[in-house]
Structure formats: C-alpha cells, structure tokens
Amino acid sequence: MAVWIVLPAYNEAAGLPPLLEAIEALGRRLADMAAVRVVVVDDGSTDGTGDAAQSFSGRIPLTVLVHPENRGLAAAIRTGLEYAWREAAQSGPQGIIITMDADNTHSPDQIPAMLDAMRGGADVVIASRFQQGAFQAGVPPHRALLSVGVGWLLRLRFGLPGVRDYSCGYRAYRAGLLGQALAAYGPRLIESAGFVVMTELLVKLAAFRPRIVEVPLDLRYDRKAGRSKMPAVRTILGYLRLIATRSPRVPGSPPASGPPPVSGSPPEGTR
C-alpha cells in the first residue's frame, strides 16, 4: 500500500520537525505494510519552514512544494492533493492520500487505525473529535465551542452518513475517489478560501457516495507552537455561506441511478 501524507504549512518551522520525526518513526513501523511518502506545501512561510522540511530530505521520502506568497489553507490543500494524486495515480487507484495539520497537533500514531479502516472498505476516513474515545488537550474554550456549534450546524444541513466531524483536517482519502472528483469538478473542486475548505471538499466528495468512516481523534493542541492562524469571524462567515449554497448533489456529480465505482483516474486533460 502506498501512502502520501500532505502537510500544508505556513510558518511552522517550530512544529514541523517533531511531526516529521514522528512520521519517520511511523514509516519504520509500517515498512512491511505501507510505503510512506511526505508532501510538504510551504505556503509562503517567512520563518524557514521550507528549510526545516528540507532538512529531513535524506531521512524520509519527501517533496517540498513552495508557494512564493501565502495563498491560504485552501490553496495549499489543493496544491498538495493534486501533486499527491498525480504521484498516487502511477501506483493505481488504491493508493491512500492523508492530510494532516503541520503544527504537530495531529499524531501520526493514528494513521495505522485509519489504514485499517481503508483496508476494511472505507473510501474516506476522518479523525473525529466527536467519536467515543476522542481526546483533546490544550484546546481553548472558544475554539472548542466553535467546533461543537459548527459541527452541529453542518450535521443538520448536510447529514452525510457516517460523518460527525466535517471540519477536521486529519483525513485519509482513497486516491481513486480524488481522481473521480478532479475529473468531475476540475478547478471547481476547491472554491472556498481558508479553513472552510475541508468541509467543502467532503461535501463535494459525497456526490460519489463513498463509504466514510470516523476514528477517534487525539488532538494535542498543547503541542502547538504559537497562536492559531484561523480567523474566527471570517471562518464562521465562510461556514454560513457554505451552508446556504452547497449541497451533496452539486452540478456535475454522478446521476442518482447508481453509484460509480470509486476507482480510476481523471482523463489526461484534467491533470
């Protein structure tokens, strides 16, 4: 099994090295089951994030992609997913693409459980704050309250089977599913800006009727170096716009007569 870990990073020179060390250790443990590759998207950082990532180039299979200027989380996610999909497509549709926060608040130790869910037939696996057994440390009360409130609204609006956490960035996707989405949506796969991107992507993938599974998230906010980069008011407004305009059955999604197989890749013109 081939696994690509996408890390969108903006000014994470402090948090990224311990995360990459943990991924290096994970790669050794999974050596007999999975080949782990890392894609860091340096989104216009000014603190040496790119150099911090490159220092691991001789230790783990690593690619560092650079945005000359900060373009935001949505653009970094898109750059990382597109690159990882192109690489994964060479290994077939069963490759796995994982997204994580680059600030060391997500533990790579949860990846084996996510891969087990994939081997069990899941197309998307979400590390969820709202599953029994989830743990959070150091999360500011206002952030925890925002997560609960937004999660409730999104569940009420979209009601996707198997989904309780719509916004967590720690996920695993089957490469074939992302390939279908890229073929169907092209540049419209990600249109939102900022932190709303994870919900938009999930809602659009739901058009293909994937099997979505959640595993409990171990969120270690106490390991975060520095303040959150999430603009609260702008993010709330983004979620409200998404709730008002998006539906799991978006234009260009497969017909309701039957689900297409979650496999294959986009035609050449969409790469």
Q: What angle do helix axes 141-158 and 232-245 make, rounded to 10 degrees? A: 10
Q: Is residue 235 part of a domain?
A: yes
From the list 271, 61, 57, 75, the residue with the least C-alpha distance to 182 is 271
* CATH number, domain with residue 216: 3.90.550.10
Q: Decide: pTM greater than 0.85.
A: yes
Q: Kind and range of the H or E element at 215?
A: strand 212-216
Q: Is residue 94 part of a domain?
A: yes
Q: Is residue 254 part of a domain?
A: no
Strand 124-128 and strand 171-174: the pairing is antiparallel
Q: Is residue 263 part of a domain?
A: no
Residue 213: the pLDDT is 97
What is the DSSP secondary structure assignment for residue 106, as one 8-state letter?
Answer: B
The number of beta carbons lying within 10 Å of the beta carbon of residue 208 is 20
Q: How far apart are CA 128 and CA 52, in angstroms?
A: 29
Q: Is residue 258 part of a domain?
A: no
Residue 126: the pLDDT is 98
Q: Which long-range contacts (CB under 8 A, 24 or more apart) does 153-161 make?
A: 153/239, 153/243, 154/199, 154/239, 154/243, 157/243, 158/203, 158/206, 158/246, 158/247, 158/248, 160/202, 160/203, 160/206, 160/212, 160/248, 161/212
Q: Is residue 265 part of a domain?
A: no
Residue 93: the pLDDT is 67
- Give residue 68's domain range: 2-248
Number of domains making up the chain: 1
The number of beta carbons lying within 10 Å of the beta carbon of residue 191 is 16
Q: Is residue 174 part of a domain?
A: yes
Q: How far apart are CA 178 and CA 58, in angstroms?
A: 29
pLDDT in tens, the chain (271 residues): 899 999 999 999 999 999 999 999 999 988 766 789 999 999 999 999 999 999 999 999 999 999 999 999 999 999 999 999 999 988 776 799 999 999 999 999 999 999 999 999 999 999 999 999 999 898 878 778 888 888 899 999 999 999 999 999 999 999 999 999 999 999 899 998 888 999 999 999 999 999 999 999 999 988 887 666 666 677 788 888 888 875 645 445 444 444 344 434 343 333 2
Q: Is residue 190 part of a domain?
A: yes
From the list 124, 212, 121, 216, the residue with the least C-alpha distance to 161 is 212
Amino acid at position 90, single letter: Q
The SS3 assignment for 253 reads coil
Residue 257: the pLDDT is 42
Q: Would you list the DSSP string of 73-92?
A: HHHHHHHHHHHHHHHHHTT-
